[in-house]
Amino acid sequence: MTVYDFTVKDRKGNEVALSDYQGKVLLIVNTATGCGFTPHYEPLEAMYKEMKDQGLEILDFPCNQFANQAPGDADEIHEFCTLKYGTEFPQFAKIDVNGDNADPLYVYLATEKPFAGFGKGLKFAALNKFANMNNKQFGEKAYIKWNFTKFLVDRNGNVVERFEPTVDMEVVKAKVAELL
């Protein structure tokens, strides 16, 4: 099984087969418009502009499961991202990434690359505590710990790395460049 076996919905509700992205390097991200990590849109868009001609696609999946930080509908979220950050990479329908209604793609991604921690230090410990409180409601189905978790997928559809939102975007960019 690879990510190419999944179908998702675009922001208008149309089905999109991820096999359409075969041969591309994918960075799949669950996002939110009102999060402390929302500024990640800026380096994500810069990376997309720089690397899309080399085969990078960034797939944006808004999610409102983390402290209600993505409350808008698909059009509001898209407008925010394009006006504030100039995003051009594909944005998909808002989904759940945790719980009984978690999108099957995210269950697969998190199973392939489980959570390994936010890092060391006071800031990371605080985020971990907050995430654990938020995710208690999902129990064993808390696959994703916070907004802007990124999954790197190679050109064959294999999940090769998971980056928590606390990972420096330059590290993410370097790993993406290695696969390109």
Over the stretch 108-147, which tens digit does the pLDDT of each residue have? Answer: 999 999 998 998 877 788 888 889 988 898 999 999 999 9
The phi, psi pair for 91, rounded to 5°, reads -115, 130
Name the DSSP class of 68: T
CB 16 within 8 A of CB 92: yes
Count of C-beta atoms within a 10 Å radius of residue 58: 23
Domains and CATH numbers, the chain: 3-175 (3.40.30.10)
- CA 119 from chain centre, in angstroms, equals 18
**pLDDT confidence of 72, banded at 50, 70, 90?**
confident
Catalytic residue from among 16, 35, 67, 93: 35
Q: Which amino acid is at 125?
A: A
pLDDT confidence of residue 67: 86
Name the DSSP class of 55: T
**DSSP alpha helix (H) spans, 116-168:** 122-135
Q: Tokens 């999610």 label which residue?
A: 63
Q: Can you give the pTM of this predicted structure?
A: 0.94
Q: Which amino acid is at 121?
A: G
> Which stretches of the chain are assigned E, i.e. beta strand?
7-9, 15-17, 25-31, 56-62, 150-153, 159-163
Catalytic (active site) residue 35: yes
Count of C-beta atoms within a 10 Å radius of residue 123: 11
Q: Report how far residue 140's alpha carbon sits from residue 100's, in angstroms, rounded to the nearest whole number.
A: 10
- pLDDT tens per residue, range 87-101: 999 999 999 999 999
Q: Tokens 């559809």 label which residue?
A: 157
Q: What angle do CA 29, 63, 142 make, to 5 degrees?
A: 85
